[in-house]
Amino acid sequence: MSRILRAQHDSFPLSQPFRISRGVKTQAEVVTVELEQGGVVGRGEGVPYARYDESIESALAAIDDARDAVQGGTDRAQLLGLLPPGAARNAIDCALWDLEARLGGRSVADKIGAPEPERLVSALTVGIDTPMAMAVTASRIANAPLIKVKVDATIPDAQIRAVRNAAPNAKLIVDPNESWDQQLVRAMQRVLVDLKVDLLEQPVSAEADEWLEDFTPEVPICADESVHVAEDLDVIARRYQVVNVKLDKSGGLTEALALAHAARARGLGLMTGCMVSSSLSIAPALHIARMSDFVDLDGPIWLREDRPGGVRDDAGCLWPPQTGFWGTL
């Protein structure tokens, strides 16, 4: 068996700035991996994230370090020991899934023993802005079933209220991206209940969430930055009610499936999330999304132009990519 591994940096301009508590993004910077064997090509994508000390350069270097092993036949199970969780491993793992499907004549869904991806509800995001501007944005997507509200620690109550007033019927996820502290989390409990928020996502830093073990929230709290792989769940299960599975954190679909099943076995709720990315990141994540209570896979919706044949949003419902895009024949 002889493989050829190709990796490159691809950049996708956004149609509008994406603002969260950590800053503003105007382009999706991704690493694309292609694995070719016998003239058949499998693809995968990873999004390096500075919060986890990753960059395009470090991801490409990690992929290059693994090149000989991967080209020599390393499989997905062996890859778990070859690279740490992160964007580089995610890109290779997903390329292996795609390659296996094409070589074996069986879709990824079939290999997993699951239905093929179908249309599902996926959150549309309202980025951080003034309450008035956020209300305008929310009014444009008011009919979406699920909206994610990005906030920071300045005026989150006014921001959430503005979105709720503009979209009275949508389910709401509030995501401070680690910008709150314990005092603010406690102070916001009544506001979250009054505004019918369904989920609070990673309000405090992953390095300062121990106090959650003795806290009973009014609204379920979802671990994002605090959880990466299944081994994290011993601690996470004591602090959170829901876990956000992202393939760029877990390092691929292989570990993401293990994390999702282990979380369910512990009685935890599931969310599927993504970075700002192309549809090549989203296609494998759909296999976690079908198991999840909340889905937030709108990364490609922010792009000015996605990869051809990718996912499609229809008023907050996400349609899977065209047949043959990734993991299907």
Q: Are residues 69 and 145 in the same domain?
A: no
When pLDDT is averaged across residues 302-312 and rounded to a whole number, the result is 97
Q: For residue range 217-227, list pLDDT tens digits in order.
A: 999 999 999 99
Per the domain annotation, does 113 fall within a domain? no
Percent of the chain with pLDDT over 90: 96
Spatial separation of the C-alpha atoms in residues 122 and 19, rounded to whole Å: 19
Q: Are residues 8 and 88 in the same domain?
A: yes
3-state secondary structure of 297: coil
Within 8 A by CB and 6+ apart from 3, the residues are 35, 36, 37, 70, 71, 72, 73, 99
Residues with a known catalytic role: 150, 246
pLDDT value, residue 277: 98
Domain limits for position 13: 4-106
Nearest Cα to Cα of residue 281 among 253, 244, 255, 312: 253
Per the domain annotation, does 112 fall within a domain? no
When pLDDT is averaged across residues 170-189 and rounded to a whole number, the result is 98
Q: Are residues 263 and 196 in the same domain?
A: yes
When pLDDT is averaged across residues 3-29 and rounded to a whole number, the result is 91
pLDDT value, residue 2: 85
pLDDT value, residue 24: 81
Tell me the C-alpha to C-alpha distance, in Å, between residue 325 and each of 107, 229, 283.
Answer: 11, 27, 8
CB 221 within 8 A of CB 241: yes
Q: For residue range 229-283, list pLDDT tens digits in order.
A: 999 999 999 999 999 999 999 999 999 999 999 999 999 999 999 999 999 999 9
Say if residue 1's pLDDT is above 70.
no
Q: Are residues 40 and 137 in the same domain?
A: no
Nearest Cα to Cα of residue 255 among 109, 116, 31, 81: 81
Within 8 A by CB and 6+ apart from 169, the residues are 142, 143
Predicted TM-score (pTM) of this structure:
0.96
Q: For residue range 48-87, list pLDDT tens digits in order.
A: 999 999 999 999 999 999 999 999 999 999 999 999 999 9
CATH number, domain containing residue 11: 3.30.390.10
When pLDDT is averaged across residues 10-31 and rounded to a whole number, the result is 90
Q: Are residues 134 and 180 in the same domain?
A: yes
When pLDDT is averaged across residues 112-130 and rounded to a whole number, the result is 96
Mean of the per-residue pLDDT values of the chain: 97
When pLDDT is averaged across residues 102-126 and rounded to a whole number, the result is 97
Q: For residue range 125-139, list pLDDT tens digits in order.
A: 999 999 999 999 999
Per the domain annotation, does 324 fall within a domain? no
Q: Which residue, of 106, 134, 165, is where some domain finishes?
A: 106
Say if residue 21's pLDDT is above 80.
no
Q: Which helix (H) or strand (E) holds 287?
A: helix 279-289
Residue with tokens 């209300």: 135
Per the domain annotation, does 114 fall within a domain? no
Backbone angles phi, psi at 28, to 5 degrees: -95, 120
Q: Are residues 289 and 147 in the same domain?
A: yes
Q: Are residues 210 and 101 in the same domain?
A: no
